[in-house]
A = this chain, B = another copy of it.
């Protein structure tokens, strides 16, 4: 017999069906036992009487067992109808029962929202934590959201291109993860902090409209809106555009996304406010203001743009560039952001006054994306390298970009919204880990599996590295 999903039972009254899924709840009422069977479509009530409660193997089903039943779908008596669930008008009178896989008692409840459960325990048993309806919903929405984004962009002539994970550092202000090379011992790949250079190279290649739902890696401390180690961003880049084009496309994308994927959410203000950096700092003391009119409304989404950032800030010790050359300037976005055309003369006289063509996307107080118009002229790029104090050697690391700029390069720019962070902000989840399947803990330990872990001596030998003994 073909499997029927829980949700499909309502269309099969009087018919015999085969159902497979988990025992969601069990309620014993003397000679009758009710089981709720849960599958990917929802739950349906099973009615078991007498010997039918014992499986062929002689076992009785308990919560979270995986079972297979056959039975007849019946209308429920009027008094028993449950209007809260889509299958609330029916029940299945079980004829045969098979226990496919027994479940031990779970380490924590999964019928609650789970916020109060120790996060390490949730992480260790993530495969059970995901059974929680809230977590299942979040993962489904994640998938729906990325699929919507892809179709939106592909319908507008964008091409999704995969760029390498084993690559070279692009300093973007965070620490790289590095991967020792076996074929070139003593050398290392870096995991990309973003596909910044590759997307610009794809513009030089003439694709004109690129995007990628791209994995990015930063070895920096986690926060509530930043998971440790890796995250996913919608990386998009366009040629022959102005900043206005990027802002409009992004606004249209996320406005239709909210309408289609999160229809119970509403956007506070359209078009989205655009606030120059100096103004937003003055008015709100932050460059990511929370512009909700009613902060207690969980369904209100207040998007805004922060624009007209200064191109440079003073260098701090944390900067990749710190102490190099004679420079005092650090890029406030990154070193490929174009200066405002009106301010180019200031590069020579007062760099801190130069505005950059950067745009940050803000949602309910979170920075959910950033981007810019990029430099596409070799001379300006070199000037920026000088101002941030690149040594000759540091410049040499980016020779390929300067070279690329000599072969006919279109003006281009883009934006990179964080996918998980956006979903977190839209759903009002308290942490980004609530929208990820297997997030790492703050100490960098992975979900379920115990990594990082020891490497085999043979692996290290092949890679030509050794571990430095640490002082206690």
Contact = CB atoms under 8 A, between A and B. Distances in A.
A137 B440 CA distance: 38
A405 B178 CA distance: 34
Contacts of A296: none
B127 A453 contact: no
A205 B451 contact: no
Number of chain copies forming the complex: 2
Given A180-B178, A438-B198, A164 B447 contact: yes
A334 to B, nearest CB: 16
A161 B187 contact: no
Given A40-B208, A126-B201, A178 B455 contact: yes
A229 B106 CA distance: 39
| Contact size range, A | 35 or more
Given A165-B217, A168-B451, A452-B181, A101 B408 contact: yes
Nearest to A208: B40
A140 B159 contact: yes
B408 A162 contact: no
Interface stretch (A50-58, A74-82, A87-95, A464-472): A464-472
A65 B150 contact: no
Given A104-B406, A151-B151, A182-B219, 12 more contacts: A127-B205, A127-B407, A142-B160, A143-B161, A163-B438, A166-B444, A177-B179, A180-B465, A181-B452, A184-B445, A188-B454, A404-B448
Interface string A433-469: 0001110100111111111111100010111111110
A450 B397 CA distance: 8
6 contacts: A20-B410, A40-B157, A126-B205, A128-B407, A178-B179, A465-B467
B410 A101 contact: yes
A292 to B, nearest CB: 29
A261 to B, nearest CB: 12
B438 A164 contact: yes
A86 to B, nearest CB: 15
Interface in A202-247: 202, 204-209, 215, 217, 219, 229-230, 232, 240
Contact of A128 (B103, B131, B205): B205
A463 B217 contact: no
Interface stretch (A189-197, A298-306, A359-367): A189-197
A66 interface: yes
A240 B4 CA distance: 11
Nearest to A464: B468
